[in-house]
Structures are given as C-alpha cells and as structure tokens.
Structure 1
Amino acid sequence: MVVNYIFTTFQVSKLVESVYNGCGVVVSNKNIRERVKILKKDYVEVRQLLSMNDCELDHDSGRVTADTLAWEELLKGIPNFGKWRYKLCPRHDEFEAIYENDSTT
C-alpha cells in the first residue's frame, strides 16, 4: 500500500514561487502536485527494483544496474520497468529522504 504524501497549500505556493524565482516560469498548484505524483511513482518503482537481488543503484550515474540476464527476467514479469534500464534517477537518495516514511511495502 502506498500512502499519498500531501503538501500543504503553503508548501505548494512556496514551490510555485521557487520555480518562478529560479526559472522565470509560471506554474500552477496543479502542475506542482502532478509533478510530485510522478516523482513519487518513479521513486516507488526504483525502490521496488532495488529490492530485487540483482539490481543496484549506481550513485555516480543515477542508473539502476543489473546484468543482462537479470534485466531480461525482470522485464518478462514487469515490462514497464524497462524504462529504468536507461532512465536515470540521480536524486534517489533525496527522494528516499522525502518518501521513505510515506510508503509501506
């Protein structure tokens, strides 16, 4: 079961302000909340991968690594995890600090 991490209205408004101040881009509260959902989903998937014996996180590159046979077996059972063979998760440790107490396995 995954518990939804909920940002307060104040926190979301601060994020909107930070994006504007940092990039000059205006985003809405909805944009922030949707992005947080996507990041959480990615974190949960990577955490599931890392819980498997053959998968590790290369902290230098942010890539989930496993040998070719392990990836082939994994993708037979969970094909949508194939994206993690190439997609990076360089901030996994930061996400873990945010979400580790928010999810149960």
Structure 2
Amino acid sequence: MHEDSLNRFGIPRRVAQDDEMDGWFEVDDEVVDHAEAAYQRWQRDTKHPEPGVVPRVINTKPHGDAPRPRDRPARGSLADHTLGDQPDTSRLVEGALGD
C-alpha cells in the first residue's frame, strides 16, 4: 500500500497532486543512472532488435582501476548526460540471444 501511495519519483501522491504544491517542485539532474543510460543508448541504436531479445544490463567493468572507455565522457556538464552520437560499446544483450 505504501508503494502505491507514491508517484514514480517517490513523492507521496497526496503531496505531488496538491494544487498548493504547483511550482514548488524542480528537477535535480545531478544523479546519473549509468545502467539506465546504457539501456537507453541500446534502445536508440537498436531500432529493430531480433525477435525474442530480452535486453539486460550487465556490469562489464573489470576488477581494479580500469580506465574509462574512450567513447564515454567523464561525468561533468549536463551535456555529458545526454544521449549524443557516441557509439555504444556496452555488451548489453550478452547472453540474451541464447549464447
């Protein structure tokens, strides 16, 4: 019941839908969900996936301090958080095609 009382941002619906709250919410875009970003890049770049493909996000970072992939910007400005024309080198669907 508690989860049903919250909107998708975790704000109680009674607060989020209160007319007195109009204008009192802002978007904070400082936190980046990198797994979601990888999935969104895959969706953008894969217009027609094979039938039955179940995309899943996997962590491909090697143990230790591996360098950041060159095609991904370091976290910084808001422009870095957009889905630009950078190639996606993630192995997002590894294992989803039946290996």
Q: TM-score, normalised by structure 2?
A: 0.23
Larger radius of gyration: 2
